[in-house]
Amino acid sequence: MHRRVATFALAAALVASFTFSQIADAKPAVAVLRVDAVLTGAKTDAKAAVVSNKLTQAIRQATRERGPYRLAPNTNKDLLELKLLYNCSSEAPACMSKIGKSMKSARLLWGKLAHKGDHYLVTVNLLNVKRKAMLRSSTVRIPMAQANTAGLRRWGRTLYNRLTGLKDHGRLHIVANSSSGVVLIDGNPATNLKNGAADVSGLSAGAHELEIKADGFKPYTETVTVEGGKKTTVNATLAAKAAPILVKKDPPKPGKPGGFSRVMFWATAAVTVIAGVGGTVARLQYNGDLKTKQIDAIKLLRIEQDITLDANNACADAAMRGAVAQSVIDACDEGKSRASLASVLAGVSVVSALAAGFFYYKGFIASGSSTNKESNTVGKSRIRVIPNVGPGHVGAGLSLEF
C-alpha cells in the first residue's frame, strides 16, 4: 500500500513539473534587434550610436523582467546586417518575418533612432512573425538631457510596455520616521512628507532612486523598484543628525575710526599727482615739440606749394584749403588734442585735490577728535559759548562747567 502511494506521489510530481515547464515555455519568444542609429555624417553620429546601444540594452532588460514574451536567444543582431542577408529592400512585414523565423522567434522587435536638434526621435515596431502582421508601433522624443544610462533605462521600459500593452506606471507609498521633509525621485523633487507619509504616482515601472531630506536627519537614499499598475510601499528610517558643537568666538575688535576716509585720501592724492604730472607733460608737449612741428609744417607748405597761411590763424586757414595743406591740418589737430588733454587732466587734478583735502579732514582730523571726545570731557571743565540774539542787540554769554 505504501509503495503504491509513493509511486503515485512521484508520478504526480513529474506531471506537475512537466506542466510547469510547459507553462514557462508557453511565453512566445521575441527577438529584439539592435535599434538602428541613422547616421548623417555629423559629429553627433558617435553619440547617437552609443545612445542606440544603451536603449537596445534597456529594451532587452525590460523583456527579461516582465511581460508576455521571453527574450529569444542570440538576438544581438543588427537590423541593417539582417536586411542585407535576407535581401530586404524595405521593412515590410513579409520580408521582416523571414528575419524573425530565422531567429526562431514568434515576435520581432526593431527600431530606428535619429538625432534631431535637442532630442532623439525613436520609433520601435513589434511584428507577429507567423502572421506577417504589424502588432504595434510607437514613436517618442527623448530629450538630450535624458539620453544617459538612467534615463534610457526608463525610456526602454516605456517603449517595451507600450508595444506589449503593459501598464508602464506605478505608485510609490512612503512611510518615514520624520513628520515632514522633501521627497526626491531620480534627483528631482516629487512631493513632501505629511505626517510621516507621502505618495508619488505616475512612476515608470522599474528601478528609481528615492531620496528624502528632512530637518534634523541625514539624507536618506534607496533604490526602489516600481511595478506597473501596482503600489509599492517603502518604509524609510532616517538617521538623526549629531548635535552641533558650539564654539564661542570673541567679539570682533572695533576698527580704526576714519579708515575709509584715510584710504580715499591716499587714493585721491595719488590721482592728484598723476593728473597734475600728466597735464604738465601734455602742456609742455603742446608748447614745445608740437608747436615746433606746426611751425615747420607751415614753412614747408610755403616752400613746396608756395602757399602762405594766415599768421594769426594758420590752422583755420589750412582747414579751408583742404588736402593741399593736410600736413598743417594734422599738426594742428595733434596740438589741439594735446591741449584738450592737458585741460582735462588739469581739471581732474583740481577736483581730486579738493577731494583729498576733504578725506584728509574726515580721516585724520575729525576721526581723531571723535575718538578722544569722551576722554577729553571726563573729569575736565568745559567752557561753552552761548549766543544771545534779541531785538536791537547781538551778544554772547560764557558758561563754565566743572
**Do 133 and 30 share a structural domain?**
yes
Distance CA 188, CA 170 (A): 17
The residue that leads in pLDDT, 53 or 318, is 53
In a domain, 59, yes or no: yes
In a domain, 288, yes or no: yes
Region 270-283 average pLDDT: 82
In a domain, 226, yes or no: yes
Domain boundary among 164, 197, 226: 164
**Do 305 and 221 share a structural domain?**
no
The neighbour count for residue 11, using CB atoms within 10 Å, is: 10
Q: What confidence score (pLDDT) does residue 114 get?
A: 93
Q: What confidence score (pLDDT) does residue 380 get?
A: 46
The residue that leads in pLDDT, 191 or 167, is 191
The residue that leads in pLDDT, 286 or 42, is 42
Buried b (16+ CB within 10 A) or exposed e, 331-359: bbebbeebbebbeebbebbeebbebbeeb
In a domain, 203, yes or no: yes
Contacts of 47 (CB under 8 A, 6+ apart): 115, 147
Q: What confidence score (pLDDT) does residue 197 get?
A: 95
The neighbour count for residue 144, using CB atoms within 10 Å, is: 16
Distance CA 322, CA 324 (A): 6
Distance CA 381, CA 400 (A): 7
Residue 12 has pLDDT above 50, yes or no: no
**Do 289 and 228 share a structural domain?**
no
Q: What confidence score (pLDDT) does residue 336 get?
A: 82
Q: What confidence score (pLDDT) does residue 268 get?
A: 84
**Do 173 and 94 share a structural domain?**
no
Q: Environment class of residue 239 by beta-carbon count within 10 Å: exposed (0-12), middle (13-18) or buried (19+)?
A: exposed
**Do 275 and 154 share a structural domain?**
no
How is residue 100 annotated by DSSP? H
In a domain, 328, yes or no: yes
Contacts of 189 (CB under 8 A, 6+ apart): 182, 183
In a domain, 55, yes or no: yes
**Do 125 and 208 share a structural domain?**
no
Give 207-249 pLDDT, tens digit per residue. 789 999 999 999 999 999 887 778 899 999 999 988 777 766 6
Region 359-384 average pLDDT: 59
Q: What is the mean pLDDT of the chain?
A: 80
Distance CA 121, CA 40 (A): 14
Q: How far is CA 119 from the centre of its chain?
A: 18
Cβ–Cβ under 8 Å, residues 280 and 349:
no
Q: What confidence score (pLDDT) does residue 392 get?
A: 47
Question: Confidence class of residue 100 from pLDDT cuts 50, 70 and 90?
Answer: very high
CA 124, 66, 227, 234 dihedral sign is negative
Region 121-139 average pLDDT: 94
**Do 272 and 231 share a structural domain?**
no
Residue 369 has pLDDT above 80, yes or no: no
Which residues make beta-bridge pairs with 203?
A: 170
Number of domains in the chain: 3
**Do 294 and 209 share a structural domain?**
no
**Do 225 and 202 share a structural domain?**
yes
Q: How far apart are the first and last CA of the chain?
A: 131
Q: How far is CA 132 from the centre of its chain?
A: 49
**Do 121 and 141 share a structural domain?**
yes
Residue span of the structural domain in which 201 resides: 169-236
- Tell me the CATH number at 207: 2.60.40.10
Region 267-285 average pLDDT: 82
The residue that leads in pLDDT, 162 or 319, is 162
**Do 194 and 134 share a structural domain?**
no
Q: What confidence score (pLDDT) does residue 378 get?
A: 43
Region 77-93 average pLDDT: 88
Region 57-80 average pLDDT: 89
Q: Environment class of residue 35 by beta-carbon count within 10 Å: exposed (0-12), middle (13-18) or buried (19+)?
A: buried
- Tell me the CATH number at 138: 3.40.50.10610
Buried b (16+ CB within 10 A) or exposed e, 76-107: ebebeebbeeeebeebebeebbbbbbebebbb
Residue 46 has pLDDT above 50, yes or no: yes
**Do 182 and 149 share a structural domain?**
no
In a domain, 86, yes or no: yes
High-pLDDT (> 70) share of the chain, %:
81
User: H-helix or E-strand containing 136?
Assistant: strand 133-143
Residue 280 has pLDDT above 80, yes or no: yes
In a domain, 1, yes or no: no
Residue 284 has pLDDT above 50, yes or no: yes
The C-alpha angle with vertex 180 and arms to 175 and 185, in degrees rounded to 5, equals 65
